[in-house]
Amino acid sequence: MLPVRTSVAPVPTAQLDVAADLIALLRDTTTETRSDPQLEALTLAVAADLPVLLWGDPGIGKTAALTQLAAALDLPLTTVIASVHEPSDFSGLPVVGDDPANQGVPMAPPDWAVRLVRSGRGLLFLDELSTAPPAVQAALLRLVLERRIGSLHLPAEVRIVAAANPRSSAADGWELSAPLANRFVHLQWAHDQQVVVRGLGGTWPLAAVPRLDPQRLSEAVTVARRAVCGLLSTRPALVHRLPTNEAGRGGPWPSPRSWEMALRLVAFATAADASRDVLSMLVRGAVGDGPGLELLASLDRMDLPDPESLLADPTAAVLPQRGDLCQVVLDAVVEAVRRRPERSRWDAAWELLVRALENGAPDLVVVPASTLARLRQEDWDVPASMDRLVGVVSLSRRADQAAARVAAAAGLGR
């Protein structure tokens, strides 16, 4: 018996048109102004013209964020999958001309680079960077840092953003080479449940360009330079510290190049009045967590009041609300008195400790009060304000003694 042949009726063109209309409706979304620190960090780094590398698991929304960012910046998006290209695709292919001995052999760039140069602007998205083999990563070095590809130089209005999956979730993934990793601002990309739900409902966060205050540009540069230079002056070991393990070298780490990026990011964040969370993401993404946190602490200390000003007029003093910063100020005040011990300065320091106590920080005044008491000279009368601190210091000492007794008892019971 011959097999029965069945034919599939062609789908009417009208039905495909209806399907296209439905797909168009699903893609029809809008945006809203919504606080999204990681998106704000991305837009700020892009505005600062620094290469950004987004790290995140597959399907987390890195590509979608870049598509929306390009639309918000009104930049044509050029996506290049780094792992499917050869090194020559980024370094250029040699093209032999009529007289190579005199004219040399030019390196022909790929077509997408030519289109970027012709348009004069754009957003270059290097996707799947962690699946690019070492030879391709080496070829990308000049593109990322110098914006050169073959014999072409990408225009100044071309921004570079890359995306990568952690090695554990990447297909045939590689660790990033240290030279390539040190050329990027690394941002960890994670999903926000509320953002995803709102987005699937048709409303995504607006990827807005940061608004820089023209009146604060000089101030922003001063703040950034003081913070970075002040930190590296006191912590010279942070100027260049290459991680010892391969995974660490593939992330952010401190070098003169990455500190220059951090300085630019601090300046842009200051001029844009960015939040603390955004600034933290950016500086840690440039120089690493440890050095980045030290830079943030350096910025905090720059905003602290001068201890000499506080001692000159303690009644008008405004102490920081944050406990760690208040502790730094009180320690600085006591140290200023120790360097120049005078009766009026000693009395003023006690008034400042009382002010901290009134602000609800009794634990912060214990050590400064004990140190200040030891600075008293024989002909100095005990100020009345000191009486208000005696109980706090005494209670703290009794608590310390009780803790010591408990620890000793526990040691004997072993």
Report how far residue 44's alpha carbon sits from residue 118's, in angstroms, rounded to the nearest whole number. Answer: 26
What is the end-to-end Cα distance of the chain in Å, rounded? 91
> Dihedral through CA 124, CA 130, CA 136, CA 140, nearest 10?
40
Residue 396 confidence (pLDDT) above 50:
no
Residues listed for the chain: 414
Angle made by CA atoms 96, 101, 106, in degrees to the nearest 5: 40
In CATH terms, the fold of domain 35-93+108-205 is Rossmann fold (3.40.50)
The tens digit of pLDDT for each residue in 118-165 reads: 999 999 999 888 888 888 898 899 899 888 887 789 998 999 999 988
Residue 14 — pLDDT band, cuts 50, 70, 90?
confident
Phi and psi of 108, rounded to 5°?
A: -75, 130
The pLDDT value given to residue 97: 62
Q: What is the pTM of this model?
A: 0.74
What's the sign of the alpha-carbon dihedral 194, 195, 200, 202?
A: positive
- What are the structural domain ranges in the chain? 35-93+108-205, 214-302, 307-412
- What does the pLDDT look like over 185-210, one tens digit per residue? 999 988 888 888 888 888 888 878 88
pLDDT recorded at residue 405: 46
**Given its phi and psi angles, is residue 170 left (phi above 0), alpha (psi -120 to 50 degrees) or beta?**
beta
Q: How many CB atoms lie within 10 A of CB 221?
A: 16
**Which is more confidently placed, 184 or 97?**
184
Separation between Cα atoms, residue 79 and residue 338, nearest integer Å: 62
CA distance 60 to 43: 18
Distance CA 292, CA 307 (A): 26
User: Would the pLDDT of 402 be above 70?
Assistant: no
